[in-house]
Amino acid sequence: MGSRSIGRHHQKQWRITLTRRNLYVPGRPPMLTRRMSRRRALQTSGLAAGGLAVLGVAGCGDDDDDQDEAGDEERPSSEDATAAADSTAPAGDVETISFGFPFGAPFAAALPDHFVALDLGYFAEEGIDMEIAWQTALLPLITGGTVEYGRITPVNFMNALASGQTLKAIFQSEYTFFFGVMVPEDSEITEFSADQLRGTTLGITEFAGGEVPVVRALLQREGLVEGEDVELFPTSGTSQQSTVDALQTGSIAAFAGSYVDFAAIETFGLPLREITPEDVRVLSADDAIGVRADYLGENRDEAIRLCRGAAKGLIFAAENPRAAAEISLKYAPESGTVDEVQEFLEIFRTRRIEPPEGINFGEVPIDGWEGYMEFLLDGSTGRQDDPLAFDEPLDLTEVIDNSLVSEIMDFDPEPIRQQARDYETQS
């Protein structure tokens, strides 16, 4: 790996616009404007709906609570760490690009890599300035050219390909699968099998939840018919208390959701045990930075520099998630407290960055994506709520482009890790 040092930066070198880009974005939900304790934040989270990247926080608390008001504080000191490295910023004008994230309002834990890269000058070093478009309906904005780049789910890459609109997946930074199936620790159920689940009701967050295609594929594989052999029942509202009640009363035998949902359930005092099949647990398909194929062809160097800046930000966040949480709250101050944001960003991002064997960090694992596609096709229903817009396997080499990764990662990560270790947090 080549060496790429981190240079001194100045705040005037960057700016960020949390923009609606004159497009419809749902109003900021009230759940994002309330502060809550860390425990309360997990108890009231509902983060699995709508795909791997669609995030939300729900809760209640004292709106006047000023604890961890990182957005109102002076910037924590990290100048000594950054002064030690030489700048490698490309000469010339800074390029302003737009980056879309599929959520309707700024959320600090969603993009800590970007927020850190903006705040500490990693994007500026790469000659990148950024507008972040928070949009739930992100795919048409990218395919239509309104937004250049975005964090896109594997299913959306596949659906775009099936519709003749080729997007390229150029950089993946998380690998551990996000969904699973749990039972209470004292449950008699020991595995996800037809023998043990036939005649039961399985809890889900909601029918639009990202775990539902996975559950349907598992049922199909076991020869179980939804609605006949096993019922699916949505239990998650603004709180996981209803899920806890359903598990404790036996209304549902197991619950499928994200690992954030499981953490939320356990804060209510109900320990869980996983029954997710091992071959599903190791699925390595996850969101990737995506861009239109034609745009990439004309702006390859820009794409490399964007992803390099984000990679630096994530390396910093993984080394010092507390600092990343404080920094991210400057850009999305209504996301919660530092404790809450740190908890969420670790679950969403930094605990999931270890690639599978044989895959370099940043690469999109084609075998993992193909396995995920085949798995989802096994559970495809063809109904209106089915997330797949295709019913036959696709050639995912048309989507995945790992040719940029070696250039993206052509820098020395150790100065960034040291900068993270030296960063003085304020909480």
User: In whole angstroms, what is the distance from residue 17 CA to residue 303 CA?
Assistant: 19
Q: Which of 188-192, 315-319, 344-348, 356-360 has the lowest mean pLDDT?
A: 344-348
Q: Please report, for the domain that includes residue 253, its CATH number.
A: 3.40.190.10
Confidence (pLDDT) at 237? 67
Is residue 6 assigned to a domain? no
Whether 96 and 189 share a structural domain: no
Q: What is the dihedral of CA 131, 137, 142, 144, to 10 degrees?
A: -120
Is residue 3 assigned to a domain? no
Confidence (pLDDT) at 218? 96
- 3 state DSSP class of 267: coil
DSSP 341-359: HHHHHHHHTGGG-PPPTT-
Is residue 4 assigned to a domain? no
Domain final position from 243, 258, 281: 281
Percent of the chain with pLDDT over 90: 63
User: In whole angstroms, what is the distance from residue 378 CA to residue 332 CA?
Assistant: 39
More confident residue, 422 or 2: 422
Whether 157 and 76 share a structural domain: yes
Q: Cβ distance 174 to 289 under 8 Å?
A: no
Range 110-125 average pLDDT = 97
Strands of 242-355, DSSP E: 254-258, 272-274, 288-292
| Alpha helix (H) residue ranges in 31-111 | 38-43, 79-83
Q: Cβ distance 271 to 244 under 8 Å?
A: no
Whether 184 and 299 share a structural domain: no
Q: How many domains are there within the chain?
A: 2
Percent of the chain with pLDDT over 70: 78
Whether 33 and 163 share a structural domain: yes
Cα-trace Rg, the chain: 21
Is residue 259 assigned to a domain? yes
Give the single-character DSSP code of 358: T
Find how far residue 188's CA is from the centre of its chain. 33
Residue numbers of the domain that contains 207: 179-281
Q: At what angle do helices 366-378 and 212-221 cross, to 10 degrees?
A: 70
* Model pLDDT for residues 383-392, shown as the tens digit of each residue: 777 778 899 9
Residues 6+ apart with CB under 8 A from 173: 113, 310, 311, 314, 349, 353, 361, 362
Is residue 394 assigned to a domain? yes
Q: Which of 37-41, 227-231, 400-404 has the lowest mean pLDDT?
A: 37-41
Is residue 2 assigned to a domain? no
* Model pLDDT for residues 215-224, shown as the tens digit of each residue: 999 999 999 9
Whether 81 and 102 share a structural domain: yes
Whether 277 and 293 share a structural domain: no
Confidence (pLDDT) at 238? 65
Whether 139 and 230 share a structural domain: no
pLDDT band at 314 (very low <50, low <70, confident <90, very high): very high
Q: Which of 49-58, 147-156, 349-358 has the lowest mean pLDDT?
A: 49-58
Domain final position from 281, 297, 327: 281
71: left (phi over 0), alpha (psi -120 to 50) or beta: alpha
Confidence (pLDDT) at 38? 42
User: In whole angstroms, what is the distance from residue 75 CA to residue 330 CA?
Assistant: 9
Confidence (pLDDT) at 15? 31
Mean pLDDT of the chain: 81
Name the token pair of 122.
């990693």
**Residue 134: is its pLDDT beyond 60?**
yes
> What does pTM read for this prediction?
0.76
Domain final position from 253, 281, 309: 281
- Tell me the pairing of strands 95-101 and 128-134: parallel
Confidence (pLDDT) at 378? 84
